Structure 1
Amino acid sequence: MSTRATARLRMLLPLLAGVLVVALTTSLGNWQLRRAQEKSELQALLDDAAARPAVRATASAPLATDTDEAGLRLGQPLLLEGEWLPAETILLDNRTHAGQAGYHVLTPLKLADGSGVVVVNRGWIAVGPDRRAVPDVSVARGPVQLQGRLHRPEASPFTLARAGQATGGKVVQVLDLAQWAGASGLGLALCPTARPRARGEAAAPCVALWIALQTSVVNDGLVRDWPLPSAGIDRHRGYAFQWYALAALAALLTAGFAWRLIFRRPHEQRNPRFAGH
């Protein structure tokens, strides 16, 4: 390859790289907007579920996994009846409210219909001056009726706990329902996601795959300030804006470089020092 051809190639490579960057960042911005549209549809489902009247749910009630599938949905109001099992209460650590550290208090509720147990997040309580002293989260015994919202525990939450620490004792970093069900003294397994039953066959008691965020007002010192379910639409729109901003910057720089190539002065074309730029 001649020196002149090499110089031309060196001049064109930055231009081609700029075009590729514009195309890539624009494509990523479009992808984020598509994700935002998908999340908008999901948010509509969440809003619809939250606006529904409270329903009585069994522990083995199925969860809807599709837009037109029957079953319970995230954020749906629930009406639960049963008895607390205070001996199995656990505290979910590292939960904050108004900038203050504390716990979420999780107590299982044995449903009156005999279908099993639902773990109820009763609310938030502040950490005391001594972390070794667990706060008093006792609950009244006897039949109770409460309202709540359906919630799914985080699948893989971020935690600073080392392996083996997440489920030790009554204070935990992560709620793993299957692990909790096996370690508890209830003798119940986690409810199956789907299991065909013969007609007339009753489901065995089990631990629900979901939890309930208590919304009933109770004078127990716990804070119940639950945010409404969000699909995270704004996050994807923000990412899209960032990609489009990068695409605009790359387009501006590429256009400036192309303008310089087209309108170079004659003495720059003859000067080897400018040939590679």
Structure 2
Amino acid sequence: MRVEIPSVSAKKNSVPLIRNWPITLFSVGIFPVLISLGFWQLERAEIKDDILVEIDTRLSSQPVTPDEDLDFKRFMPIGLTGKYMDEYYFLDNRTRNGRAGYEVLQVFTSDNKRWLVNRGWIPLAEDREIFPEITYPKEVIRIIGFLYPVNKINSGKRQEKKGGQRIQSLDSQFTKELDLYEDHWSVRLSSDSISVFLTEWNLISSSAERHRAYSMQWFAMAIVLVMLWMFTATNFARITRNIISKNN
């Protein structure tokens, strides 16, 4: 029985795959993180798709008249008949098409119940220290809008001036001071409602397409990481050349 002992030259020709273990360990640790972030962004995209379906379904339904038995939900269309009160506020740092301005919040009374109505956006005056002049119908009118939740995080920042009050956040602390029928909700006017300003409501912070784009970026980074690892921490190219040369 013959036992072939590898020659010294054969040992010299063998090439290990890994030639830089620190980079390899780093890549092994980072790769699953990048993949996880990619799938996380895909999950967020699916959530945003569900929210858009919810928005379309509710906003396309007929407005309801709120009562004590109604289960309030975000984006639920409602109709209110009543009058505006001489209580309005300027929600600061709101933009439309890159232009700074306010969203006008005003108390509306319907059946002796006070609601906070967001009438939409107006641009800043030339002098920021002067509030824009606000007009509104004095008679009884019917308005159409949808429910939108109030921010639960309190900012505590507001500035009072003659002719209005500037607030930085529409939060629960502010709405509780107004003695509203529902201080957890505001009513955003529909674009065709009476007394509305510019709407163009931003109902979600970011679109599903943006999250999918982010996911592709994370997956692309994972691919680049693998390629960098192969060329900087392995002898893959050398091994490949050796295999090709032997086959030739």
Range class of TM-score, shorter chain = 0.7 to 0.9
Shift of 1:237: 1.4
Counterpart amino acid of 1:94?
N
Instruction: Determine if the alignment matches structure 1 residue 179 to structure 2 residue 174.
Output: yes
Tell me, in whole angstroms, the C-alpha distance in 1 between the residues paired with 2:206 and 2:64.
Answer: 23
How far did residue 175 of structure 1 move? 1.5
Percent identity (aligned):
27
Deviation at 1:9, TM superposition (A): 9.1
**Superimposed CA distance per residue, residues 170-196 of structure 1 (whole angstroms, 9 cap, x where no aligned partner):** 1112122432432x4xxx2x6xxxxxx
State the partner residue of 1:148.
Answer: 145
User: Residues 175 and 183 of structure 2 are in contact (CA less than 8 Å); yes or no, is this contact kept in structure 1?
Assistant: no
User: Where does structure 1 lack aligned partners over 5 or more consecutive residues?
Assistant: 1-7, 63-70, 158-162, 191-205, 266-277
- More moved, 231-240 vs 206-215: 231-240
RMSD: 3.1
Are the equivalent residues in 2 in contact too, given 1:49–1:73 (CA < 8 A)? no
Residues 10-48 of structure 1 show CA distances to partners (whole Å, capped at 9, x for unaligned) of 732322322322222112212221222233223222221
Say which of 135, 147, 155 aligns to 1:138: 135
Q: Determine the structure 1 residue equivalent to 2:110.
A: 111
Residue 252 of structure 1 and its aligned partner are, at CA, apart by 0.8
**Residues 92 and 106 in structure 1, CA contact (< 8 A), matched pair in contact too:** yes
Separation (CA, whole Å) in 2 of partners of 1:79 and 1:228? 19
Indicate conservation of the 8 Å contact 2:119/2:196, yes or no: no
The aligned residue for residue 198 of structure 1 is none
Secondary structure class of the residue paired with 1:207: coil
The Cα shift of 1:262 comes to 6.4
Corresponding residue number in structure 2 for 1:55: 64
State the distance in 1 between where 2:185 and 2:99 align: 27
Higher strand share: 2
User: Which residue in 1 is equivalent to 2:80?
Assistant: 80
Name stretches of at least 5 consecutive residues in structure 2 with no aligned partner: 1-16, 242-248
Secondary structure of the equivalent of 2:134? Answer: coil
TM-score if structure 1 supplies the norm length? 0.68
Q: Aligned partners of 2:222 and 2:69: how far apart in 1? A: 48
Give the total of aligned pairs. Answer: 221
Q: Which has the larger radius of gyration?
A: 2
Calculate the TM-score normalised by the size of structure 2. Answer: 0.75
